Structure formats: C-alpha cells, structure tokens
Amino acid sequence: MKQNIAQKLARPAILKLKPYSSAREEFTGNEGIFLDANESPFNKPWNRYPDPFQQRLRQRLAEIKGVERENIILGNGSDETIDMLFRTFCEPGKDKVLSVSPTYGMYKVSAGINGVDYETVLLNEDFSLPVEQLLEKSDKNTKLLFLCSPNNPTGNRFNDDDMRVLLEKFTGLVVVDEAYVDFSSAGSWVDALKEYPNLVVLQTLSKAWGLAAIRLGMAFASKEIISLLMKVKPPYNVNTLTQEKALEALSDLVRVKKRVALTINERDIMMKALSVISVVKKVYPSDANFFLIRVDEPDVVYDYLLQRGIIVRNRSNEPLCRGCLRISVGTPKQNPYLLKVLMAYPVGLQESQGSESWKSISDWLVTPPRNAVRMRKTKETEITVDIDLDGNAKANINTGLGFFDHMLEQIARHSGCDLSIQVKGDLHVDEHHTLEDTAIALGEAFAEALGNKLGIERYGFALPMDDCAAIVLLDFGGRPELVWDAKFKREKIGDLPTEMFQHIFKSFAIGAKCNLYIKAKGENEHHKIEAIFKALARAIRMAIKREPGADFLPSTKGLL
C-alpha cells in the first residue's frame, strides 16, 4: 500500500499503535443509563467525562475556519499540540527538528523533553527567513520545521513566497505557528491546507480571543496527519469547562473582531508615539499584539518600568535582539501611561523630529484631545453638540432662533473652543424646550470634553464692559449652582424671551456641573445679555486652560 506523507514521516511505533479506547468512544449516544465509565452517578453534569473528540467544538471551528472537522485536533493549549507533533513524528535520539532563531521558546523545550535534536538557523538581519540555509540544514531525519508567523518575539510575519518555497522543498512537516495571526493584515495558512499535504497550522484562543486561562490550542492539517495525532493525544485532554467556554466565545465573532481592531489601533498609535521618545532608539514593525523596541540600556529601562508598575519582557539576550524590550499592547488607559512613564525617563522627548507626525504625536502625548459629541433627543428637541475645547473658536450654530445663535457664537469666539450646535426644536410650541435642552446639552458636552480635568485651571472670572458691565464667576468643581443677579425690562430680545435667560444658565450649570455667579448691569438690553455671554465665554476660556502633561487635580479633595 502506498503510504501518504504523514505515514512516511510518523514514528513506526505510532503507526503500529492501537490507541486507547475510552468508554465514551465505544458508546456515543446522549440518552441512557450510563454505567460504563465508572463515573459517579451524582453531581451532574460534572460527573461525566468530557467528549474525548470535542465534536461540537471542532464542528464550530470547522465552520469558522472553512475546513472539515477531520482537519482539526485540539490541545490543552497549543503547547500540547506541539508536544503531540514531537511524539507522533520524532524518534527520540534519532530524528531532528529545525527552526529559526530567535523564535518561540517552546519548540526547543518540547524537543528537549522528547529527546529530539533541535537545530536553528539565525534569521536575516531584517528578521526575514533564511530560506536557503534552512533547506541546507535539513536532511531525511529532519521531521519538523517550526515557523512562527507572525514571529515571537520579533513581531513580523514571514514573506509568503519564502514560506511557499519551504513548503515545497522541505521534506518533513512545516508547522506554522499562527498564535498571532488575528492581528496580522494577511490571511491564515489554514486556507492552503489542500495545496500542501505537509502543512500543519497551529492556532490558539490564548491571544486574540483573550482566553489564555482556558487552555485551548488548535492544530489544522490533512486528515492523515490529524488521524495520527489523534492516536497520540491523551483521551480527555480538553476538559468540559474549556469546551463550553470556547463554544460560548466562538458564538460571538463580532466581539473578538472589535477587540482585535482596538488592539491594532492602539498598537499603531503606540508605535508612532514611541518612535518620538528619545529613550527609544528603534521601534520594530509588527503584525502582532506586541512589538519590540530597542533602547540603549535595556536592563536599566526594564527596572525603571518595573518600579513604576509596568512589566515588559526583556528580550535583549536573544539573538539579533540586542537592547530589545518586548511590549504587549495594553488597554487605551494602560498604553498612554506607559508613554508618559517612558517620556519621563531621564532622556525625555526628542527635541525635534522634523517629521510631520512629530507635532501631532507629541501634542497627543502631552495633551490628550478634549473633545466631545453630545446628542440629546427627547419628544421636544433633537440636539447635537460637537465641541473641541482646544479648537480655534470656530462656530457653527443652528438652533432655529437667530438671537440665541448669535449668543452661542459668542461662547465659541470668546472661549476659543470649536463649537457646533444643531437643534431641531418644537418652536411651533414655544422657545422653552429648545433653550433649556440646548443649554443642558452644551453643559454636558463641556463636562464630557473636560474629561478627567487633570491640570485645568478650574476657576474663571470675567467682567467685560461696554455700556454694560457683566461679571461671571465660574468653577468647574463638579457641583451645579447658579446665582443670578440680572434684570431685564423688555419682554423679548430678538426672538428670545428674557424671562428664559436665568433658566438657560441654570440648565447649562446643571449640564456642565459647574458653579456660576452672574451679575449684569446696564441700560441697553441687547448689550447686557451679550455681555453676559461674552463674560461666560471668557470665564470658560480661563477655567479650561490646562498645564500640558499635568497630572494633578486642582482640588485638595482629589476629586472634581
């Protein structure tokens, strides 16, 4: 009988092996009185052994990955599938495996445990594959070639053409470890299984899926390879809790996609930002959820970070990685903290990078954006407020009330904020809801844009004089309050009823959670209300001013 490549490469002992047959294998129904496995009849459902072949889970994975169930074997983490490959294909003391350096450490450990020689070829300087040298180094006893792509710790994905040359010319199995494939822009080698009978692809739920704790690894390969591995795997290697948790995670692909997109976005921001911090000499490209940076004193920087609660991986003793620290991408809160800590490293920010991205990145680092979009929809009004506290006094205001627009424009002009306010209100009833809801939404937008309020001035005051005097005192202290001392004699100014003025500022104070003290005097009613809006804008301008990069709160309570 003609042997397939899997059989040709397998250890003779495994070819001969008659695998353990479990009780759950010999009878596979769900119904009945199970007296076959010496399980306890109590403590359901945990009294039963797990499905040894993980049929439901493998079926779901088959659908997701576009293969058949028989192309999949699962392990207690991909580390177990690596071990299965050794035990199935490598004769201790005789066979060898090959990989590159630097790469994932587990191949070497697993080889050592299994008494199999582990050989490596150094990657090229740019971390690409040394294809010719790998082929030269292999012979008929070289059973496995491990290629981790995207590679750990270098972060890069290997070139497709290089991979194809190796898949075609290497005489053993090519094991592509895709632990990080979800973060890479290119696809998976699982799609090439039909083309290459010697291809094995490893994946895991430990990284992108956020499930390192449940230990679920996957190997994808031809049915021939999988059926041999199946003989070797421990009968109940994937427990019931893991199978169920994995099925739950695999039922919501959108959630993981979102997380991956967020991580990639954070990674790209981090890599750009780090490249302008002078302690960082180089940021290496990455297709993964981590990347390498090179620094001059890796041990010192490592300890410096550690003292500030940040743990990275020091890879500076790995070949080709002198000075390198490996950094996993964290959350949108953790990442800026790392940047801040590295910026405070004695060598600080580079004075001038000259690159166009330098200014925007350094601005972003020192002063994170303070903008907000606030949408408010009720039966009476529909409002969108879009604000940037660090804008250029641009205003785009349409409330349907000409005079109110004119007043709100004063806020943008004199506070320096960019402000867009679009309102559809029930003006056919009267102005009340439009004025009130707009003021609340504007206040809320300020509160949101102020964010954590770190480093702001907090207080503002102003007293513009024309023929009218208006005094506004403002405190973004977190409590809403209005003290109002202004009288208007006319019933309306433009299309605004003057009786609403006090209510507008009260609503703003509630939305923005600020204290307002407003006092105005004068004869001309139009000028008087305009003076109040101008003074408010000036007070806002003063109060929102912040110290770039400051991390203090202007409060002894520690809370604003």
Ligand X SMILES: *Cc1c(COP(=O)(O)O)cnc(C)c1O
Closest approach of ligand X to the CB of residue 363, in Å: 35
Paired tokens of 72: 């999949």
Closest approach of ligand X to the CB of residue 269, in Å: 23
In the bound state with ligand X, the residue whose beta carbon lies nearer, of 14 and 106, is 106
Closest approach of ligand X to the CB of residue 127, in Å: 14
Q: Longest C-alpha distance within the chain, in Å?
A: 109
Pairing mode of beta strands 290-295, 324-328:
antiparallel
Taking a C-beta distance cutoff of 8 angstroms, is the pair 302, 314 a contact? Answer: yes
Partners of residue 473 on adjacent β-strands? 461, 517
Q: In this structure, how many other beta carbons lie within 10 angstroms of the beta carbon of residue 362?
A: 19
Closest approach of ligand X to the CB of residue 325, in Å: 16
Asked, as a colleague might, if the bond just before 346 is cis with ω within 30 of 0, I would say no
Positions in the binding site for ligand X (CB under 6 A) = 77-79, 104, 148, 152, 177, 179, 204, 206-207, 212, 217
In the bound state with ligand X, the residue whose beta carbon lies nearer, of 104 and 404, is 104
**Closest to 74 measured CA to CA, from 226, 272, 263, 297:** 226
| CA dihedral (15, 17, 21, 27) positive or negative | positive
Q: 557, exposed or middle or buried, with CB in 10 Å at 0-12, 13-18, 19+?
A: exposed
Rounded Cα–Cα distance for residues 486 and 483 (Å): 10
In the bound state with ligand X, the residue whose beta carbon lies nearer, of 71 and 152, is 152
Rounded Cα–Cα distance for residues 184 and 230 (Å): 30
CA atoms within 13 A on the CB side of 5: 19
Closest approach of ligand X to the CB of residue 216, in Å: 7
Residue 5's identity, in one-letter code, is I
Taking a C-beta distance cutoff of 8 angstroms, is the pair 102, 148 a contact? Answer: no
CB closest to ligand X, residue no:
77
Taking a C-beta distance cutoff of 8 angstroms, is the pair 250, 61 a contact? Answer: yes
Paired tokens of 442: 């504007």
Partners of residue 144 on adjacent β-strands? 97, 173
In the bound state with ligand X, the residue whose beta carbon lies nearer, of 219 and 535, is 219
Paired tokens of 92: 């201790």
Sheet holding 459-462, edge to edge: 459-462, 469-475, 515-521, 481-485
Q: 89, exposed or middle or buried, with CB in 10 Å at 0-12, 13-18, 19+?
A: buried
